[in-house]
Structure formats: C-alpha cells, structure tokens
Amino acid sequence: MDREEARRELARLRAEIERHNELYYVRDAPEITDAEYDRLFRRLVDLEEAFPDLVTPDSPSQRVGGRPLEQFAQVRHSIPMLSLQNAMDEGEVRAFDDRVRRFLSRSEDLDYVLEPKFDGLSVELVYRDGLLVQASTRGDGVTGEDVTANVRTIRAIPLRLRPRNQALDLFGSPAMPRLLEVRGEVFMPLDRFEALNRAREQAGEPPFANPRNAAAGSLRQLDPRVTASRPLDFYAYAMGATDGFEVSSQWELLQALREMGLPVSDLPRRVRGIEAVIEEYRRLEALRDRLPFEIDGTVVKVDSFALQRELGEVSRSPRWAIAFKFPPRREVTRVVDIVEQVGRTGVLTPVAELEPVRLGGVLVRRATLHNEDEVRRKDVRVGDFVEVQRAGDVIPDVVRVRTDLRPADAVPYQPRTTCPACGGPVSRQEGEVARRCVNASCPAQLKEHLVHFASRRAMDIEHLGDRVADQMVERGLVQSVADLYRLTREQVLTLDKMADKSATNLLQAIDRSRERPLERLIFALGIPQVGEALARSLAFRYGSLDALEAECDQPPGDEDPLMQVEDVGPKVAQAIRGWFAQPENRALLRRLREAGLRTTSGAGEGSADPAFAGKTFVFTGTLRSMTREEGQARVLARGGKVSGSVSRKTDFVVAGEEAGSKLAKARDLGVRVISEEEFLAMLGP
C-alpha cells in the first residue's frame, strides 16, 4: 500500500471506529460485535505502525498515550464555572420561580429545562475546530487542573466532533465551531463502581466510599493508564466560551451537543411553568433507583439564553438555575456492633457496624453515631433496628432507632474507658462532648495524622494513602509526621507491594512536599479547629511559623490578638494556643524545620503596605470582582487585619451589593465605609 492509500484508509478506519465508539458508549446501540470492533482497531494500529508519521492526535489509538505526569498544570477557565444554589423542598423551588419572574417582571409561565443533577465531578472540554485540545476539572471555578490526557481515555468523549446538520458555512457545507467549550459531568456508573470496589478489596486496596469519589479519584491520576483502566463515563450539559456556535436556549444546546456526537442524557425535559417543574421533579425522583448512575436531584434551568443573560448571577451562582435536591435516602437495618474509631486528634467516635444495606447505589456497612451523648440521646443498642440515611457525600448516619422492632436482648452502649487502638487512657474534658485518647503517640492517631498531613489539600504527598500510612505506623517506621522526611529507601522497600519504582515515587513525593506553602503546612499540622481557610488567614497574618509560635507564647491579655484573624473566636484561639502549648507539638515543629520545610510565606507583616498596615477591615455584602475570602486574603497579605464584626476599632467597612446590618452598624458608629471600587483602588494595580 502506498502512502496516499494508507492515509485514506487510516482516515476511513478512524471515522469508522469513532462511529462505533459513539454507538456503543454514547447511544448504547452497538452495531457490531466486540470481536469485529477489535479487528477494526487492530487494522488501525498495524497500519499506523507501518506509517508512524501518519498517526494523528485524534486517532482512537491515541486515547491512552504519554507517560505519567509529575503534577497537573493549572488551567484558568475562560469563563468561570459557577456553582448552583440548592432548593431542599417544593417551597424553595416555588420561591425560585417567583424570584426569577419578579426579576424579569414577567407574570406568565416560563420555560424551564429540567436535567438530572449528575453526581460526579464537572469538567470542561475545549474543542478547537472540532478537535479536543484540552480538558480541565472545575477546581475552584476559576482555575482547575489540566486533565487532558486522562479525559482522552474516556471513550464516551469524542476526540473529534461531527459538524451539526443545520449549521452550514458560507458555501453551504456543514460548519464546525472554531471554539466550543463543553461542560459536563464525569461519573462512574453504579455497576462499574461496584465491580471496581470488589476488585480493589480483593487486591487489598481500600474501596471507594461512593461512585463520586471513585470518579474523582480516577480522573485525578497522574498516570493516564490508570484512568484508562477505570470505567468512567460522561454527560454534557452546558457550554463555556464559543466561537462560531449559535444556540439560543438550553434545550437547543443539548440537541446541538448530541448532534455533534457528544453524550447527552435523554432524561432532560423542557416544561412550562412551576407546576410542570414540580411534576417533572417527581418523575425523575421515581426513576432514581432504576438509573444506572447516581443522581442527587434535578437541575432546573431557565431555557432561554436571552433571559439567562438578563438574570445574570449573584455570588458565583446563576440566578437562572437551581439544584432541586432529592431527600436523602433512608433504609432500615440492624446494628451488629458499636465500635469506636480514633481520629487524628485522638477523638473517639462511636460507629455503628451494620448489616450491609443498599442506600441508592452504595452498600453501607457502617454509620457514624457522632459522639457518646448522641448515642445516648438516640438510645442506640447493639441488636437494634435503625434507620440510616446517606445524604450526598457525607458518611452515612443513624437517624433513629425503630424501638417498635427492638429485640429483648438489645445491649445498651457502654463507652470504653481505654483507647481501642493503644489501650491508653481516655478522658472527657469539662464541657466537651468528645472523649479523647490522651496518648500523644497512639498509633491510630498517628496514622490518621499521617493521612491528613499527606492529603491533597494539605501537603499533597501522592502515593501516601491509608494503606501505606497504616504499615508505616505498624512497622514503627514513623513515630511522627516529621519522620517521613527521614525515611530511607531501604525502609520504604520493606512496605508491602513496594517495588523500586513505587519507592522512588513515594520518596520523591515526600521530598517535593518540603516546598508546600506555609498555609498548607499549618493546615497539615492538624491543629484542632484549624481548617484550610483559617490556615490561610494565619499564614497571611503571621507570615511565618516563628511569628505564630511567638504569638502563642505571649499571654493573650484582655483581647487576644489571635482573635483579630477572621473567624477566630475565643474557642478557636484557645484551641490554637492549647496546641502550641504542648511540648511534643513544639518538638514536631522543630523537627519539621530541621527537615527543611517552608515555614515562611514571604507575606505578612514583613511586606506590609502602609495603607493597610495595622488597619482593620470588615467585609459585607457581595463583591463583584472577588469573593469576600479573596478580599480578606488581600488585606492580610498587605499587613492589614480583618474582622467579622464592626466595632469602633474597625477602620474600613468594604460594602458590596446587598450589604446588610454591618453596613448599618458602621454608619451608626461613624466607621468609614468604602465601595468595592475604592477598595480596588487602595489595592493598586
């Protein structure tokens, strides 16, 4: 075969294979057998091997390519990916419809599109001239991660679009948009999720808690071959930026995306008026248990794009859409045992072990009982039948005991007086609901701390999950998280299933984590009450671990300076001080410093801006150009302070749209009020 013939044959094979991909993965209507498909694919691969320079990026043979990445690149979305407001009941959906019509000054019924709210993770696909060139996760809505190589392995996602039937160019041939950003949900079908979990359990790997976590975990793999082995699927439901693509309504968009070969669910309906919306919601809810994937509600969208534009958005959510959630699923099952789990701060959480029960798509075996008082209040006994529920992503929870079904021999709960993990003493402090294991080197706490420390939002140490942490603690390789930085290759190689390559990966990941910014480190320390946002504020406010330690060494005085940090009240301040007061925590900090971790942020008082230094800002209302948190972070970064409430000590109140009582109070007290524009001007270029 000559080159020209090969080129033509390759083009034909690719189009043929993509057509069968669509029939199989998108339409669920295959026309050929798997063996026939494999033969076509084989022909393609053989021919490409013979003519390697004729391989194109959109070839079906190129879905799994390349080698593992070091890390994901950041992608800024050209149009932010918004989130949705929730409606929990009918009343809230009626209120939504009222609001929309009031805003538009319309008395007649509006057209809405109802879609399933898919329970996966949203991604954006960028098609240029019909070719898939980039895929990214939603991230924080503004910036996500580049997951192109992984998304290309999802067979339901076309690498090349088909031109729409109606869209013709100047010469009357079908036109392809120059740019089309498609948004939708990557998810894992329920049967595949269960099969994957079975396989993982057999391989001694921890199962995923639910299909959504499985989908997210599978898409966020640095090695696209791992993603390729995971059964992911996709539905398109929205668009971002476009060029050369004209549609005037959500309904039309869905049809257009489908015509171009993208997977679009056939569940969406277009209806007129709020009564029909509610009826349609009920139809979907009734279908819910028979669907092959998880949905957690419906998304109600104003159909017309012109009206959508008029409605606009508030605080990062569109005014033209709402997520109408389904009530959480509930089932009755039996409590087989009540055990206690030790968390990373030593808190013991009672957990009910259950006779496995199916809640939606997920088999539930355990449910949290939160704390001792809760068990007593609900009077949960071993042997009881209980109602369990699972709402969204949270851990299943025991709603109530079916006392009508209580067996005579049900055994009341007796809290343990010793830690189930280390046998050490357990104490319950005045005014606290939780009991804690007070042994600072309790292996269960250490393990949880390791997992938290290594987690993505903390030090982001890949390859250090539950299983590895468990073994490191069990085998005495680490006594504190600081020991991670002294692990040798020989030690790592003693862990189960650690080959040369995986040991290198783990050690490199640990090494890279030394460079994480201060805010991550503060979060990773696991100081009680200090979450991600607060860790960020503390890093901005103090600029270094030294400065924060020094603050905690000073007696707090009448007004604790820690409380000038946003969201720090007396309780939180006390928790932070309590943590720094422990000698073993101070030893940990010293060792982390010695290990070469970053303990300064380069911001903080050191780089104070005179317009901000020492000045206290309060934010109220909605800002247009940034979130309140971003505004606060900018103040802190310039050496200013932020507070949640207005007092005489407040220097500036930054008032956004719909500012409420704080604004009134500022006026009362004569505190200076500035607009978002004035604030931006102060920030400078």
Please report, as ranges, the residues that interact with ligand IVH according to CB under 6 A.
Answer: 82-84, 115, 117-118, 122, 138, 185, 237-238, 299, 318, 321, 323
Which residue lies nearer to ligand IVH by CB, 318 or 517?
318
Angle of helix 583-594 relative to helix 545-553, nearest 10 degrees?
160
Which residue's CB is nearer to ligand IVH, number 122 or number 650?
122
Distance CA 576, CA 592 (A): 18
Contact 368, 375 (CB under 8 A): no
For residues 59 and 122, which CB has a smaller minimum distance to ligand IVH in the complex? 122
Give per-residue burial for 359-382: e unless 16+ CB within 10 Å, then b. bbbbebebbbbbbbebbeebebbb
Q: Which is nearer to ligand IVH, 138 or 463 (CB)?
A: 138
Q: How far is the CB of 143 from ligand IVH (least distance, A)?
A: 14
Looking at beta carbons only, is 122 or 643 nearer to ligand IVH?
A: 122
Residue 237 CB, shortest distance to ligand IVH, in Å, is 4
Determine the 3-state secondary structure of 77 from DSSP: coil
Cα–Cα dist 494/472, whole Å: 9
Q: Which is nearer to ligand IVH, 82 or 563 (CB)?
A: 82
User: Which of 283, 516 has the CB closer to ligand IVH?
Assistant: 283
* Residue 146 DSSP code: B
Interacting residues of 464 by C-beta distance below 8 A, sequence separation 6+: 450, 451, 454, 484, 506, 509, 510
- Structure-token match 């060792």, residue found: 591
Closest contact distance (angstroms) between CB of 70 and ligand IVH is: 27
Q: How far is the CB of 423 from ligand IVH (least distance, A)?
A: 45
Least separation, in Å, of the C-beta of 119 and ligand IVH? 7
Residue 415 to residue 638: CA distance in whole angstroms:
49
The stretches of 513-569 forming alpha helices (DSSP H) are 518-524, 532-542, 545-553
Tell me whether residue 368 or residue 622 sits nearer to ligand IVH (CB atom): 622
Map tokens 């139809």 to a residue.
283
**Beta carbon nearer to ligand IVH, 297 or 639:** 297
Q: How far is the CB of 376 from ligand IVH (least distance, A)?
A: 37
The backbone region for 389, taken as left when phi is positive above 0, alpha when psi lies in -120 to 50, beta otherwise, is: beta
Q: Which of 679, 676, 589, 673 is nearest to 640 (CA)?
A: 679
Alpha carbon distance 182, 254 (integer Å): 11
Q: How many helices (H) and strands (E) does the chain have?
A: 23, 26
Half-sphere exposure of 102 (CA within 13 A, CB side): 7
Instruction: State how beta strands 143-145 and 74-76 pair.
Output: antiparallel
Return d(Cα 88, Cα 443) in angstroms, integer.
Answer: 41
Is 89 within 8 Å of 101 (Cβ atoms)?
Answer: no
83/455 with CB nearer ligand IVH? 83
| 112-122 b/e (C-beta count within 10 Å ≥ 16 → b) | bbbbbbbbbbb
- Among residues 85 and 600, whose Cβ is nearest to ligand IVH? 85
N- to C-terminal Cα separation, the chain:
62
Identify whether the C-beta of residue 418 lies closer than 8 Å to the C-beta of residue 449: no
Min dist CB 527 to ligand IVH, Å, is 30
- Among the listed residues 117, 325, 447, 662, the single catalytic one is 117
Number of Cβ atoms within 10 Å of the Cβ of 629: 15
CB of 244 to ligand IVH, least distance (A): 23
Q: How far is the CB of 89 from ligand IVH (least distance, A)?
A: 18
The nearest distance, CB 146 to ligand IVH, in angstroms, is: 18
Separation between Cα atoms, residue 297 and residue 301, nearest integer Å: 13
Give the separation between CA 574 and CA 490, rounded to whole angstroms: 42
The residues, ordered by sequence, that sit 6+ positions from 151 with a Cβ below 8 Å of its Cβ are: 123, 125, 132, 135, 157, 186, 219
Q: Catalytic residue at 497?
A: no
State the minimum distance, in angstroms, from the CB of residue 300 to ligand IVH: 10
Whole-number Å distance between alpha carbons of 501 and 485: 18
> Phi and psi (nearest 5°) for 105?
50, 55
Tell me which residues are annotated as active site.
117
